[in-house]
Every structure is written in structure tokens, then in C-alpha cells.
A = this chain, B = another copy of it.
Amino acid sequence: MKKTSILNKLRSSGLRPTKQRVEIAKFLFNRDKTFHFTVESLGKHLAKKTTTKFALATIYNTVHAFKKAGHLSEVHLRGKNNTTYFDTNISNHHHFYDSETSELIDINDNEIKFDKIPKAPNGKTIKNLEVIINLKN
């Protein structure tokens, strides 16, 4: 992924390309495979691999802006550690959750097929359907 693409991600999220935001975007989007992260893991990586200073609030704000713009998704799972997982895979997909390691593993949408799905209750419609398959050893 090229520099212009990073700048596009920022622009399309309504964010000016500051030093902090460019570093965050590079780490999140300059890669071949998608991945899952927490704000904590992201912050630790940035502290180790860059010389830039990142306030926690900056990381939260930037991640939320990317999410709002549709460049990141959030996994609505409450693991044993009470942290929020973000996902650079924004396609419709599902997850294995390994509670031993607190790790998420993607399940492609086409790896799960439904025979029967209930209809939404009274006046509501279905926004989306999330499957989490909990793993054990």
C-alpha cells in the first residue's frame, strides 16, 4: 500500500495527516493481511517501533475516526480481558475466539452457511449477524 493510499484513508476519515495519524495509518493499513488489535497493543507497537509520542487519547480518537469512516470494524466480544478488539478486515466475516490466548481468528463469510435464521422481532430488522466460535484446547 502506497503513501497516497494512507493519505486517502486519512482524508476520507476527515483527518488531517499529522505525524501521529500517519504512523497509525501506516501500521494499520501498510500490510498484506488484515489483523486484529486492541488500543493497548497498538499503542505498545507504536511506542516500540517509532520515535513519535502518542497520547492514548490520540490513538483512541484516530481509531474511532477510522471506524466511523468504515476503514476499521469493531468486534463486539467481551473477552476475559475487558478490552475492545478492532479489525482491519472490514468485510462481513466471523471469528474464532481463543480465550486461552485472547486471540481472534477470522472465519471467512463463506465458511459458514445457514439453513435457518429466525426472523427479526416485531418492527425490527436484522442489521447483521455475528458468529463467535469459542475454542478450547
Interface residues of A (CB under 8 A from B): 76-79, 82, 84, 96, 98, 105, 107, 111-118, 120-121, 123-137
Contacts and interface: CB of A to CB of B under 8 A. Distances in A.
6 nearest CB pairs, A to B: A113-B115, A113-B116, A111-B118, A127-B136, A124-B135, A127-B134
A113 B117 CA distance: 7
B120 A96 contact: yes
Given A76-B77, A77-B78, A78-B78, A126 B135 contact: yes
26 contacts: A76-B79, A76-B132, A77-B77, A96-B118, A96-B124, A98-B124, A111-B117, A111-B118, A112-B114, A112-B116, A113-B116, A114-B115, A115-B115, A117-B133, A118-B133, A120-B135, A124-B137, A126-B133, A126-B134, A127-B135, A128-B133, A128-B134, A129-B133, A129-B134, A130-B133, A132-B132
Contacts of A134: 76, 126-130
A123 B101 CA distance: 13
Question: Helix, strand, loop or mixed for chain A's interface?
Answer: strand
Contact of A136 (B76, B124, B133): B124
